[in-house]
Amino acid sequence: MLIQFLILCRLHYVCPFYALTNRYCPGCGGTRAFLALLDGNLCLSVHENPAVLVLGICCMLYTLEKILKWRDRSPKLLPRNPVFWGILIALWIIWDIFRNLTPAMMPLT
């Protein structure tokens, strides 16, 4: 399974959204950002797609909540307010529009 993952990470594919519109979708650069994060290159990861870092932090907090709940503690580490998540999604959309208009913000290919 690890070999399949490593082979998959080295395959280069074209995003269908990018192929049709010549614009980056919100997920473009996600694989490169994840691999940069695995290499410890935080700056490159955030440049490629900052949503990967935010999603990774959310996944870690969610997992920690579940582990602590299993141990008879119930802290709330992730915000439960829908307004917070709405603002986070709005920022992601604004960032995606901004990076399509600014060449310096585009993912490195």
Higher confidence at residue 3 or residue 104? 104
What is the spatial distance between Cα 95 and Cα 104, in angstroms, rounded to a whole number? 13
Question: At a CB cut-off of 8 Å and minimum separation 6, what does 53 contact?
Answer: 33, 37, 42, 45, 46
pLDDT tens figures, 5-47: 555 555 566 777 888 888 888 888 888 888 888 888 999 988 8
Helix (H, G, I), strand (E, B) or coil at 55: helix
The average pLDDT across 48-65 equals 90
The structure tokens listed for 21 are 């519109």
- What DSSP line would sit under 2-55, residue for residue? HHHHHHHHH-----HHHHHHSS--TTTTHHHHHHHHHTT-HHHHHHH-HHHHHH
What is the spatial distance between Cα 1 and Cα 4, in angstroms, rounded to a whole number? 5
In angstroms, the Cα distances linking 16 to 33, 49, 53 are 18, 17, 23
pTM as predicted: 0.71
